[in-house]
Structure 1
Amino acid sequence: MSLQQTLDAFKADFKAGRPPYHAPPEIHPVMERATAELIASGQAGRAIKAGERAPQFSLNDQNGQPVSSADLLAQGPLVVTFYRGVWCPYCNIELQALNEILPQIRSLGANVVAISPQTSVNSRKSVRENGLGFPVLSDAKGTTGAAFGLRFALPDYLVALYRKLKNDLPAFNDDPSWTLPMPARYVIGQDGIVLYSEVNPDYTHRPEPADMIPVLEKAAGRS
């Protein structure tokens, strides 16, 4: 089953309220409205894309250790995935799918990092619960997400819904701003230029991890 098929199956179960999901049905139109408005805003089209220079970053991993994009790019190409947080089941499914092809990515000389605005404590939970073999970096206040053009503010009605559901983003992220990054995945070449980019304001849609492999093969001189 592809990543998107897995996500679609989860979405169908979630909307149908099948166990173990017990979300009230009235939440779905609210979430769909917010997604539609984010799509209509055109922000995804203004984010960093293939052919542009990637912003540099240095962020702490789940153990509080600094990880620098410059240091990683000195070793080879870099795969970067931005995601909302450990509280997001769609994000966890995607991280697991990336982890499945991690050996193939590393065989091509590349590294992988995930970036989320969540705290290091929650990043440790992401690594532990998803069995990840790559680091999860904490993007305090969403500054790196903003540099990539991904950070957006949740509309007031969605904030109200999240509060009702006890999805406390200020606590998850240690940031009162109620902001998140649009899910995105990048392959950055050793010269800092983005070789591959996928940005989707619809958090229920994610690109297939295998889509990056031809890009990484070319970067490795093996195409």
Structure 2
Amino acid sequence: MREQYNEYIAKFKEKTPQEMQDKMGKAITELENSEDGKGLRVGDKAPDFTLPDATGKEVKLSDILDKGPVILTFYRGGWCPYCNMELRAYQQLMEDIKAAGAELVAVSPQTPDASLSTKEKNELDYFVLSDEGNKVADEFKLVYKLPPYLVDIYKEKGLDLEKANDSDSWTLPVSATYIIQQDGTIAYEYTKADYKDRVEPSEVIEKLKAL
């Protein structure tokens, strides 16, 4: 996944005006220096939640935990190329995740319809849930508000988050990945303000196997 990221970032830098790159970098730095989006930590109890999957079926975290540990990943949306690369990387490792007795749950603020598009586009064979309004992400302390200048950039690039999330709040979850044990305790977390900085899915699975 990291190689794919590096290739995409290189192409992005080639075709994106420096002023726009500077503003996007500024937004990341501001988020890193704020108190927003820091996330829950190892040893914290993961809040239980019930969210609809891509077909509208209600899925409850505790019901999944009854069967084994859970890898829980929060992503920004199907419009985010880094998210799609990450989601596809996890799909390639689903046999390893199942062999470890675990399930994978991916959560974004998208509507179920938008989540269905993400699931179908990336051919995902795991839980893809819709957290409209970022209510669950907020319980995990991951939510932040995009600064106005970044909202302008997103609109300029044709990213219609208001439609994808059915919300005009322009809030997103920080990209975060957790391993949650069956008792609800967070055994591993990787949370970064920079959406380009994500843990390799293979590393998460190694952590899972070591539990």
TM-score bracket relative to the smaller structure: over 0.9
1:215 CA displacement: 2.9
Question: Aligned pair in 2 of structure 1 residues 125, 147: CA closer, same or farther (>3 Å)?
Answer: same
| Percent of paired sites with the same residue | 39
Structure 1 residue aligned with 2:7: 9
Instruction: Report if the CA contact (8 A) 2:36-2:143 is conserved.
Output: no
Instruction: Report if the CA contact (8 A) 2:109-2:133 is conserved.
Output: yes
Pairwise mapping of residues 97-176 of structure 1 onto structure 2 (< 5 A)?
Answer: 97-176=89-168
| TM-score normalised over the length of structure 1 | 0.91
What whole-Å deviation, never above 9, does each CA across 1:9-37 have from its counterpart, x for those lacking one?
111111112xxxxx555321111111111
Pairwise mapping of residues 170-185 of structure 1 onto structure 2 (< 5 A)?
Answer: 170-185=162-177
Pairwise mapping of residues 1-223 of structure 1 onto structure 2 (< 5 A)?
Answer: 3-17=1-15, 23-44=16-37, 46-219=38-211
What whole-Å deviation, never above 9, does each CA across 1:157-211 have from its counterpart, x for those lacking one?
1112222222121111001100000000000000000011000110011101122
Distance (whole Å) between structure 2 residues aligned to residue 33 and residue 165 of structure 1: 17
Number of residue equivalences: 211
| Higher mean displacement: 30-39 or 61-70 | 30-39
Structure 2 residue aligned with 1:20: none
Extract unaligned runs of 5+ from structure 2. Answer: none
SS in 1 for 2:33: helix
Instruction: Report if the CA contact (8 A) 1:62-1:121 is conserved.
Output: yes
Distance (whole Å) between structure 1 residues aligned to residue 42 and residue 3 of structure 2: 26
Distance (whole Å) between structure 2 residues aligned to residue 217 and residue 172 of structure 1: 35
RMSD after superposition: 1.3
| TM-score normalised over the length of structure 2 | 0.96
1:98 CA displacement: 0.9
Distance (whole Å) between structure 2 residues aligned to residue 169 and residue 123 of structure 1: 13
